Structure 1
């Protein structure tokens, strides 16, 4: 991926096997493709075909070429290697989601830049969107992200209320489908407490 430059315009053309493809890298189009790759209702081959069509507006290529186009667009233009296997030693935990937090992101762009993202469909480049997003997270959104990222301290006899308050907030703002280690630990702890109470002799 080329470094972000203030002196050069985005060159959204992919040259592959002697053919030049004009790319649609508007932020809404790229987000649509991200959403497509996360939709398990589509077969992987369907995802490749649809993503290729969204990127270049063409669907007459053979499957191998479509796969190459999609791979190189992600790698060379979006800095994402979709073929790379995840490293279990690398922390990939995320604290915000472009879809679950869509309303917060939209409100942040309005508040920080007076930019209506719906009016920018087909216009705002994804790289610009990503750069602006890193600074557009307003105070309320930052608090939500901070709650998700916050580590719950080990229990002591002095911090029970603080721990319960933090865990309650983490439950409220947790991302769907992502298990928070602190919430898992709390469930296990509650389970053991219930079990202990069950076997504790009654007074």
Structure 2
């Protein structure tokens, strides 16, 4: 996301211009369809493209539809948080230590919906139900990533990310493990289609 670029509402793919519905609630509907185990892959792609492109004419071949889906997903829906680059004294980028726990997910948009809603209301005075159809996905993601530490969602993220230290009392460790069990995430992964 760049502040000097307009929010994406259309794009060109294989010389065809498409209008794109990037409202956050529409993207969440797309995620729901992609995680529906009762649908076949081609059905997920078809429904996802219909939601995003509002029933515009799609490419004739399935491979082109798959390529179109992957292009939209990679370029407009998924954007990974980039780790800050640290430099040594000579200005060379330094490798970052890789910890498996750092890759662990601490939020689920569906499971945490009520906490996200409450946090947006608390932090920004934004009622997400009133913003359906108008708040862009990138706006939503930026606000979600920037939630202040005093919001309920950030508190739950801190619980999920907590690791015991040698200074913690046995009571504190027990309490935190109970909270982690209470707020544990279900294992649902949403991936792009190959």
User: Which of 110, 113, 116 is the matching residue for 2:121?
Assistant: 110
Q: Structure 2: how far apart are the matches of 1:100 and 1:79?
A: 19
RMSD: 2.6
Q: Structure 2: how far apart are the matches of 1:71 and 1:45?
A: 13
The change in CA–CA distance for 1:90 and 1:136 in structure 2 (over 3 A counts) is closer
The change in CA–CA distance for 1:150 and 1:123 in structure 2 (over 3 A counts) is same
- Residue 25 of structure 2 corresponds to which residue in structure 1? 28
- Residue 170 of structure 1 corresponds to which residue in structure 2? 180
The change in CA–CA distance for 1:8 and 1:34 in structure 2 (over 3 A counts) is same
Residue by residue over 1:34-63, the C-alpha shift from the partner in whole angstroms, topping out at 9 and shown as x without a partner, is 122122111111111111111111265332
Residue by residue over 1:68-109, the C-alpha shift from the partner in whole angstroms, topping out at 9 and shown as x without a partner, is 22111111223459xxxxxxx795311111111101111111
Provide the TM-score with structure 2 as the length reference.
0.75
How many pairs align?
167
Q: Structure 1: how far apart are the matches of 2:8 and 2:151?
A: 34
Shift of 1:31: 1.2
Q: How does 1:43-192 map to 2 (within 5 A)?
A: 43-58=40-55, 60-61=57-58, 62=60, 63-79=62-78, 91-136=102-147, 138-153=150-165, 159-177=169-187
Provide the TM-score with structure 1 as the length reference.
0.72
Runs of 4+ in 1 over 6 A off after TM superposition: none
Contact 1:49 1:59 in 2 (8 A): no
- 1 or 2, which has the higher helix percentage? 1
Shift of 1:9: 1.9
Q: Structure 2: how far apart are the matches of 1:177 and 1:71?
A: 23
- Residue 4 of structure 1 corresponds to which residue in structure 2? 2
Shift of 1:161: 2.3
Contact 2:122 2:151 in 1 (8 A): no
Q: Using CA pairs below 8 Å that are at least 6 residues apart, which structure has the higher relative contact order? A: 2
Q: Structure 2: how far apart are the matches of 1:69 and 1:99?
A: 25
Matched position secondary structure for 1:136: coil
Higher Cα radius of gyration: 1
- Residue 86 of structure 2 corresponds to which residue in structure 1? none
Structure 2 spans left out of the alignment, 5+ residues: 81-99, 189-194
